[in-house]
Amino acid sequence: MNISKLNHYSLQHESTIQLQHRQKSSDIQKIEQQMKDKLPKTTLHVSSTDAVPKLEAKIGGHAKHFQFIQDIEELSADDKKKIDQLVMSSLRMRSDGTDDFMQMNTAQSIAQLKLITDKLIPSSHQEEMHQAIQAYERDAIDEHVNMYRAAQKAMDTLSAQLGKSDILERGTKKVHEQHTWMTAAYSNLDFTNQSTFVQSFEATLQTLTEHRTATDTWKTSVLRADEEALRVKWNDFATLFNNESVFKLPTTAQSAIDMKI
């Protein structure tokens, strides 16, 4: 949901204070950007010698939840390095985009982290990895809610013009609802073979898009760009994984899939 779509809002001076139904107001855009800017940022550079693309990853403070991996004795130094790179790639967050896209990105991050757990984390430490993912999940949800919290604070200062606002209450409810169905959508990924994976991933994107368009009107170009960003994020992850059972996706830039990951 676009954070500034304040449907059913009571305006005392509607003739002079117009909130555009399908576009963020400049005030709310500033609030969202301020919230994003306050989050700690880490830039990850993967060396070209590793034969993978350079990743510019805004991961906030989420990496701290996964530091325990460096202490797992069953893993070699190379294993730890690879897992660390995969975690950082999974936590990557685009610096712009709507709150909807940020939550979609979080849902995909969780799916990628779970795949790391299943394939690379020793069974004796998988429960600890699941706890780390849950901690990341809680932090990510709180960050989304913080945007509504900031918007509520801003609206409260304008209460004389706008009347009482319940944007935080409605926004918090929406964040939790969206997170539930978005993460559920990613649970349907099918890794049986290349074809089933591509079909299941595209079905997941379709589910995300259908839910978004059911409640709001979005430009087709925005929806397609968001879908493509998630495909590219997955392919970067699959390239790092370098595992024959972690498949890549066709994209606008590369419609033919390289089966040799």
pLDDT of residue 151: 84
Rg (CA), the chain: 20
pLDDT of residue 185: 95
| 251 CB-near residues (< 8 Å, 6+ apart) | 228, 231, 232, 235
The dihedral formed by the CA atoms of 87, 90, 91 and 97, expressed in degrees to the nearest 10: 170
Q: What is the pTM of this model?
A: 0.74
Nearest partner of 109 among 127, 136, 85, judged by Cα: 136
Domain ranges of the chain: 26-187
How does pLDDT run along the chain (261 residues), one tens digit per residue? 444 443 333 333 333 323 333 334 444 444 545 444 444 333 333 333 333 333 344 556 899 999 999 999 999 999 999 999 999 999 988 767 788 899 999 999 999 999 999 999 999 999 999 999 999 999 999 998 988 888 888 888 776 665 667 888 888 999 999 999 999 999 999 999 999 999 999 999 999 999 888 878 888 999 999 999 999 999 999 999 999 889 999 988 776 555 444
Q: Which residue, chain included where needed, has tokens 């589910």?
A: 207
pLDDT of residue 161: 61
pLDDT of residue 52: 32
pLDDT of residue 259: 47
DSSP structure class, residue 14: T
Tokens of residue 65, six digits: 């939840």
Give the span between the Cα atoms of 115 and 26, in whole angstroms.
39
| 174 CB-near residues (< 8 Å, 6+ apart) | 1
pLDDT of residue 60: 61
pLDDT of residue 5: 40
Give the span between the Cα atoms of 222 and 231, in whole angstroms.
14
